[in-house]
Structure 1
């Protein structure tokens, strides 16, 4: 049961998750509607990701000194306007620009929302509060994305963006009515915020986020051809299996929240990345088994989103003087991981290897995350010893 004051954050997360991931499902419809190729339409996904990476640190640095509730409302207003305009885009160029602009408030909303969630949480329940916020993102993959894909196929892809804009409007209303007022941070500014980048621990945390989670995205990017060509599922089964992944995400984000409230975030991340390595290697070995694939789709989805709450906690811990900026970097890191995983996972395919080969790349990326987490743990112990 989501705490009432956290419900607007979950709803905003639902809208953000829907607009980010539904594009994969309606890509052919957008391409047909704008008379462009599928590869060209794929740039719309990249444009959104670029918006996330750019917007998260920039917007938070500009507005971090304002009251958090007001900042969240401004971000959601941007979100609803640019998604609403996307529904009216007359051509590819205008939609490309609007997708970039719609991505700007994505990471910033989660960054500020994560700080608000921890402040609203009961003592010792901070990670669980973060899980509540991220539950909206996971539920979007179970309900919003399949529904939006169906609408895009059978009605119009433009309706999907109008629905997303309506969710943004509902979030604005709920933020105003439900989230309590909190004072801003006096004196915060870009120059002061940027000082957190002097910390080796923050760079290690960002490396864990960008590289470690890249393993999940290397797996997810090529799951469709893996299912049809290697596991021998019929193409009609892909939406069902993606729903299984989404259900796993919903389960996992709550597990991650509980785990991060019981053990230090870095140790939770280390445990989850090690289990991710094992699951990805197991999937590579059992890629031809339909029963194994269904089971692993749930487990890998759960494991991936379980990383969300402890990663956010770790970033907040290592950016105390600019915690909103530090928290927002999580979404930038995830999107870098998305791009990195898709790029590196595709290399063995270009060399002629099977669609199971990206799984070994995925396992390697997750293992690199384990190495970075271990290095960060050692760095922390050394810092304490020298203090």
Structure 2
């Protein structure tokens, strides 16, 4: 039987650019606290070191999500999972924007970590299903360009907007960006059936290989 990749004859470029938007939004949301540690710490009466742990929390939960997503989501349409992560991005940033305590702040960042890890683990495989093989290098370069765009723009822009509007409004803006991402993916992303071979058994088999 031919694989889903070889059956793909039409490139879904709008869906590819929606993945670019997703990567940009997630990376920006992950790192913008670096520019806002002082106002976050002052507003919540915590130390800047504690505020900095919000970046660490994203990394920890992203690792867990990237390892567990495929085995736990076998048989689920990848389009539905991507849309769920887009909504979760909105929720996580709203939690941070309206956080009244350090615990709520960390909870919002933990949700973001799940989004980051899950989205990253899906993005390459989803891209394979969106374009024919001849367009794959171009499509992957578009998706991964989101990392560079977010890294270059997010920190200085977050610092400027945080000084101008307040750190909470920066996270509200990031939440709005996630909303745009959700609408774009909902409109552009085709059905993406899960591919077999992603269970825990396969994961442990890879670990046993020398």
The answer to whether TM tops 0.5 is: yes
CA distance in 1, matches of 2:95, 2:86: 14
CA distance in 2, matches of 1:187, 1:197: 15
Q: Is the 8 A contact 1:65 1:189 kept in 2?
A: no
CA distance in 2, matches of 1:118, 1:185: 11
1:61 aligns with 2:71: yes
Instruction: Detail structure 1 runs of 4+ shifted over 6 Å in the superposition.
Output: none
CA distance in 1, matches of 2:20, 2:138: 13
Deviation per residue, 1:32-79 (Å, 9 max, x gap)? 111211122111111111111111112232114311111111121222
Residue of structure 2 in register with 1:80 after alignment: 90
CA distance in 1, matches of 2:183, 2:53: 32
Question: Does the residue aligned with 2:195 lie in a helix, a strand or coil?
Answer: coil
1:49 aligns with 2:62: no
Deviation per residue, 1:226-253 (Å, 9 max, x gap)? xxxxxxxxxxxxxxxxxxxxxxxxxxxx
CA distance in 2, matches of 1:189, 1:101: 23
Deviation per residue, 1:166-191 (Å, 9 max, x gap)? 11111111111112212223575333
Alignment match of 2:102 (pick from 62, 81, 92): 92
Q: Which has the larger radius of gyration?
A: 1
Residue of structure 1 in register with 2:125 after alignment: 115
Residue of structure 1 in register with 2:175 after alignment: 165
User: When the two structures are aligned, how many residues end up with a matched partner?
Assistant: 199
1:30 aligns with 2:37: no
Measured on the aligned residues, the alpha-carbon RMSD in Å equals 2.0
CA distance in 2, matches of 1:194, 1:73: 29
Task: Tell me how far 1:106 sits from its aligned partner.
Answer: 0.4
Higher relative contact order (CA 8 A, sep 6+): 2
Question: Does the residue aligned with 2:36 lie in a helix, a strand or coil?
Answer: helix
CA distance in 2, matches of 1:163, 1:198: 45
CA distance in 1, matches of 2:115, 2:34: 20
Task: Tell me how far 1:193 sits from its aligned partner.
Answer: 4.1
Unaligned ranges ≥5, structure 2? 1-11
